[in-house]
Amino acid sequence: MSRSHLVVCGVLVLALGGCQSLREEMLAANYPPTFVDGFEAGCSSGRSAAGPLGRYTKDVARYLHEPLYTQGWEDGFRQCESNQRDYAWRERPDDQRRDQQWRRHVDQAMAAALRR
C-alpha cells in the first residue's frame, strides 16, 4: 500500500472518532502541522470542486515550497472531492423523487384550477 493510501486510510479512521475536530485528531495522531494545514485547505477545495460546499483554498507559496503542505493538500483534495461526489450521487435519487412529487402537486393544482 502506498504512503498516500495509508494517509487516506488513517484520516478516514480519524474522521470516525469522537468529538474532536479533524485537525485536532490529525495532530493527536502525530501528523505534522504543515501536512494538516494542507489537508484542511485541500479538503475545502475538493468539496468546492465537487459541489456547493467548501471554498477553494490553497496557499500557493507553501504549496510550491513545502512538500508536506503539498502532500496534505493533494490528499485532502482527493479524499474530500471523492466524498462530496459520493454524497451527491447518493442524494440525487431523493432529490429527484422530491422534484417529481412537487411537479405532480403543481400539475394537480393547475388541473383543479383549470376545471373551475
Task: Report the chain's terminal Cα–Cα distance, integer Å.
Answer: 69
Cβ proximity of 62 and 97 under 8 Å: no
Per-residue pLDDT of the chain (116 residues; tens, 9 = 90+): 455 554 554 555 445 455 678 899 999 999 999 999 999 999 888 888 877 666 788 999 999 999 999 999 999 999 988 888 877 666 666 666 777 778 787 778 777 777 87
Residue ranges of the alpha helices (H) in 1-116? 3-15, 22-28, 33-50, 60-65, 67-115
Angle made by CA atoms 91, 92, 97, in degrees to the nearest 5: 105
